[in-house]
Homo-oligomer: A and B are copies of this chain.
Amino acid sequence: MSELLQEVRVFAPASVANVSCGFDVLGFALEQPGDEIVARRKDEPGLHISKITGEGGVLPTAVEKNTAGVAAQKLLEHLGSQQGIELEIHKKMPLGSGLGSSAASSVGAIVAINRLLGSPCADHDLLPFAAEGERVACGTAHLDNVAPSLFGGFVLIRSQDPPDVIELECLKPLFATVVHPDIEIKTEDTRNILRRDVALHKAVDQWGNVGGLVVGLLKGDYELIGRSLKDVIIEPIRSVLIPGFEQVKNAALNAGALGSGISGSGPSIFALSATRENGHKIAKAMQQRFDEIGLGNEAYVCKINQQGPQILEER
């Protein structure tokens, strides 16, 4: 039995989904924050969540109610594995922040288990199981958080069903600033306030910008990226749920951001920039605006995460 891994600890990154014009189709991974998941072999059969830390006790440890649990269970069923496994979930980011917290836990769990079991699946083939976790968290299996968390980098979800995920290698360095104000918005609520229909001319603007953003990334054209980071459909509706949104976004742009928008379904606000130095300057400007309206907040500045999850420890 000495060749079998007994325990694997994985870091799975947070991610920014709904990138401006790319509602439901564009997302990218962050270097920080991210969750840590431990998967450990146990003699007793079945999958168990033995410990969850960092979330104030609000997440369910029942496997079938926990997004990471569901994702892990789906993977084990697919593999036909009878191995007893316990999971520890160490949340390292706020819940309901718009940073793909549930996706990170799902991705971490399946990557850890896959590794523990000797990597029977290629990393890319793990996507459907992570998507099942999202179905529990959001009601639908949206991929724009799980795909960047699993693959790293900037991704385009060309199609949710069947899944068609396209990795977009940005030709130039790209840095993300994300500021999370200390309020919680439920993804479900942010879905419910969206209109079922959109004006055709706005949809045209949006898909022109999606095209522009994709070209900008692939060619490393910062100006084009900046011009394309616009959302004329979702942001005008959802931003009303985020106190100070316009001021914070404008602060980011005035500090030199290529563009800025709602991260996921909020309340976090992201901005993109060409240098780490600029990313920090932007963070400062954004935080100052939140401070001015008395809203506690936390900022992250990092390069876009190109590698996805990382194995931190295994034994």
Interface residues of chain A, those whose CB is within 8 Å of chain B, are 21-26, 156-160, 164, 166, 168, 194-200, 203-215, 218-219, 224, 227-228, 233
Cα–Cα distance between A194 and B201 once the two chains are bound (Å): 11
B208–A158 contact, CB under 8 A? yes
A215–B168 contact, CB under 8 A? yes
Ranked 8 nearest A-B pairs via Cβ? A158-B212, A207-B207, A197-B197, A203-B203, A207-B210, A25-B208, A156-B211, A24-B204
Contacts of A194 in B (CB 8 A): 200
A204–B23 contact, CB under 8 A? yes
Given known contacts A22-B207, A197-B197, A210-B211, what 20 new A-B pairs fall within 8 Å (CB)?
A23-B204, A25-B208, A25-B211, A158-B227, A159-B227, A160-B208, A164-B227, A166-B224, A194-B200, A195-B200, A196-B200, A197-B198, A198-B199, A203-B203, A203-B233, A207-B207, A211-B211, A214-B214, A215-B218, A218-B218
A215–B212 contact, CB under 8 A? no
B199–A164 contact, CB under 8 A? no
Contacts of A199 in B (CB 8 A): 196-198
Contacts of A196 in B (CB 8 A): 199-200
Cα–Cα distance between A210 and B199 once the two chains are bound (Å): 18
- Partner of A208 from the list B156, B168, B197, B209 (CB cut-off 8 Å) is B156
A203–B206 contact, CB under 8 A? yes
B24–A212 contact, CB under 8 A? no
Contacts of A197 in B (CB 8 A): 197-200
Contacts of A205 in B (CB 8 A): 159
B164–A215 contact, CB under 8 A? no
Cα–Cα distance between A224 and B24 once the two chains are bound (Å): 19
B198–A158 contact, CB under 8 A? no
Interface pairs (24), CB distance under 8 Å: A23-B204, A23-B207, A24-B204, A24-B208, A25-B204, A158-B209, A159-B208, A159-B212, A159-B227, A164-B212, A164-B227, A166-B224, A194-B200, A197-B197, A198-B198, A198-B199, A198-B203, A200-B233, A203-B203, A206-B207, A210-B210, A211-B211, A215-B218, A218-B219
Contacts of A166 in B (CB 8 A): 211-212, 215, 224
Contacts of A25 in B (CB 8 A): 204, 207-208, 211
Contacts of A158 in B (CB 8 A): 208-209, 211-212, 224, 227-228
Cα–Cα distance between A200 and B26 once the two chains are bound (Å): 16
Closest to A25 in B: B208
Give the shortest distance, in Å, between A191 (CB) and chain B (any CB). Answer: 10
Cα–Cα distance between A88 and B31 once the two chains are bound (Å): 62
Give the shortest distance, in Å, between A166 (CB) and chain B (any CB). Answer: 5
Cα–Cα distance between A211 and B144 once the two chains are bound (Å): 14
